[in-house]
Amino acid sequence: MNNTLNTLRPRSRVLILGLGLAALSLAHADSGRMLPRDMPAAYTAECASCHTAYPPGMLPARSWQRIMTGLDKHYGTDASLDSATVKQLGSWLQANAGTYKRVAEEPPQDRITRSAWFERKHREIEPAVWRHASVKSAANCAACHTGADKGDYDDDNLRFPAGLDARYRRAWND
Ligand code: HEC
Ligand code: HEC
């Protein structure tokens, strides 16, 4: 802590630190990757039982709406929920959906993994990697992103999936 901060009365100090934190979390919210702090318990319980809890900011509102109104036919499986939970999660997803430009476009099949930005970020990953037994699917973010459950996709927190041939390492190296 620097000296200027220490000479201030405690309340002002708290205020300044608070503002700093607010600016920090805004920067994160803007990147659209973090899981919002008001994430309902039902989101982890119901939407992270088969896969990662995807950050709402990674899809536009229209895509989340289609997903939440078609849970009985959810990517080849039945993910139906009672209507109160659908309503709760649906409105939370709407409120936190991605709004910035690169997420505004509705990707094919409402898949994060089919978004142009996703394909760009992963362009160095070869198709065989997605299909490898320790990855299974591009939708299985946690196979490579160790912080996926917390909405952390920083490229400092990547792992190279076990059993994958070292020649695929290129994408992990920059
Ligand atoms: C019964 C299991 C199951 C449950 C419960 C479930 N899903 Fe899924 N979900 C799947 C499967 C299977 C896929 C396709 C994964 C793949 O292609 O590898 C999928 C894919 C997705 C995708 C697209 C991923 C991509 O490719 O970008 C989104 C978004 C998604 N689910 C959101 C949700 C939400 C929101 C909920 C909670 C309301 C939910 N899921 C609950 C099984 C489930
Ligand atoms: C097979 C491993 C693998 C899977 C599965 C995977 N990623 Fe990645 N991802 C990577 C690698 C490697 C990079 C870094 C690429 C680079 O820097 O060239 C990356 C980069 C990213 C970035 C950019 C990070 C940054 O700091 O610029 C985001 C965001 C991201 N991934 C999101 C996801 C999401 C969301 C999923 C699941 C829907 C996912 N990834 C699935 C390997 C993976």
Residues 6+ apart with CB under 8 A from 14: none
Do 97 and 40 sit in the same domain of this protein? yes
Spatial CA neighbour of 98 closest among 112, 109, 86, 85:
112
Is residue 134 predicted with pLDDT exceeding 80?
Answer: yes
Q: Is the CB of 117 inside a 6 Å radius of any atom of ligand 1?
A: no
* pLDDT value, residue 119: 96
103 lines ligand 2 (CB under 6 A): no
Instruction: Kindly give the number of the ligand 1 atom that is closest to the alpha carbon of 86.
Output: 38
In this structure, which amino acid lies at residue 61?
Answer: A
**Shared-domain flag, residues 39 and 87:** yes
- Does residue 113 lie within any of the structural domains? no
Q: How confident is the model at residue 101 (pLDDT cuts 50, 70, 90)?
A: confident
Ligand 2 centre distance from Cα of residue 124 (Å): 10
Q: What is the pTM of this model?
A: 0.87
117 in a structural domain: no
Q: Kindly identify the ligand whose nearest atom is closest to the C-alpha of 159.
A: 2
Residue 136 lies in a domain: yes
- Ligand 2 atom with the smallest distance to the CA of 155 is 26
Q: Residue 19: which domain range?
A: 1-31
* pLDDT at 11 (0 to 100): 57
Give the number of other CB atoms < 10 A from CB of residue 138.
20
- Between residues 174 and 103, which one has the greater pLDDT? 103
87 within ligand 1 shell (Cβ under 6 A): no
Neighbours of 130 (CB within 10 A): 16
pLDDT at 31: 47
Instruction: Please give the mean pLDDT across all residues of the chain.
Output: 86
Q: Span 6-25, mean pLDDT?
A: 50
Which residue puts its alpha carbon closest to atom 21 of ligand 2? 121
| Pairwise CA distance, residues 56 & 32, whole Å | 8
Q: pLDDT tens across 2-14, in order? A: 444 445 555 555 5
Domain tally for the chain? 3
10 shares its domain with 57: no
Residue 138 contacts residue 124 (beta carbons within 8 Å): no
Q: Whose CA is nearest to atom 41 of ligand 2?
A: 141
Same domain, 147 and 100: no
Rounded CA separation 135/24 (Å) = 32
**pLDDT tens for residues 143-171?**
999 999 999 999 899 999 999 999 999 88
Considering the domain architecture, whether residues 145 and 169 belong to the same structural domain is answered as yes
Specify the pLDDT at position 3.
46
Q: Which of 77, 108, 75, 112 is nearest to 93 (CA)?
A: 112
Query: Within this chain, do residues 22 and 73 fall inside the same structural domain, yes or no?
Result: no
Listed range (12-21, 97-106, 115-124, 165-174) with the worst mean pLDDT: 12-21
Measured in whole angstroms, the distance separating CA 1 from the mean position of its chain's CA atoms is 32
Residue 110 included in any domain: no
In a domain, 132, yes or no: yes
Together in a domain, 92 and 131? no
* Biggest distance spanned by C-alpha atoms of the chain: 61
**Angle (CA) 133 150 62, round 5°:** 85
Q: Is residue 111 part of a domain?
A: no
- Does residue 100 sit in the same domain as residue 44? yes
Q: Is pLDDT above 90 for 26?
A: no
